[in-house]
Amino acid sequence: MDPAQQYSQPDSLHSTAETSQSSPKTRPAPVPHAIYKDILEIMLEPEITAEAFSKLREQPNAPLLLDVREPWEFQTASLPNSVLIPMGEIPSRAHAELDPDAPIVVLCHHGARSLSVTMWLRNQGFEHAQSLAGGIDAWSRTIDPTIPRY
């Protein structure tokens, strides 16, 4: 086969014997959703809305609220019962100070840093970590306007 033609043919990764078969290739039948149901129920979305987290906070086994902003931001505006570990300190402190089996909601100003930390935590085995979508700013706008915006 001409190398230039190899990339334009869909079966270019198969041997000549496989591509010369006369029967067309078909995709395998899709797996029924029911098989994945248990897995999907266990998996968490990477983000949680302020409204959904507000309801979770009212429950007895509320997730740990991990604030990854800088100390000056935490002093400017923070949520009660949150734990401050600035983003830059997460790699050195997470395994010593956080429970990988516990639900954790990660908070920052607008949600970008917290989502980054959430994904890092998940890669480190903290499967129940979620980022607060929109950060403390969204919390202040939708849940508690007494929390200062900055």
Return the active site residues. Answer: 108
What does the block give as tokens for 73? 């931001």
User: How far apart are alpha carbons 98 and 117 in whole angstroms?
Assistant: 13
**Is residue 140 within 8 Å of residue 77, measured between CB atoms?**
yes
| Cα 76 from Cα 1, distance rounded (Å) | 67
Closest listed residue to residue 68, CA positions, set 98, 36, 32? 98
- In a 13 Å sphere around the CA of 143, the CA atoms on its Cβ side amount to 20
E strand or H helix at 106: strand 104-107
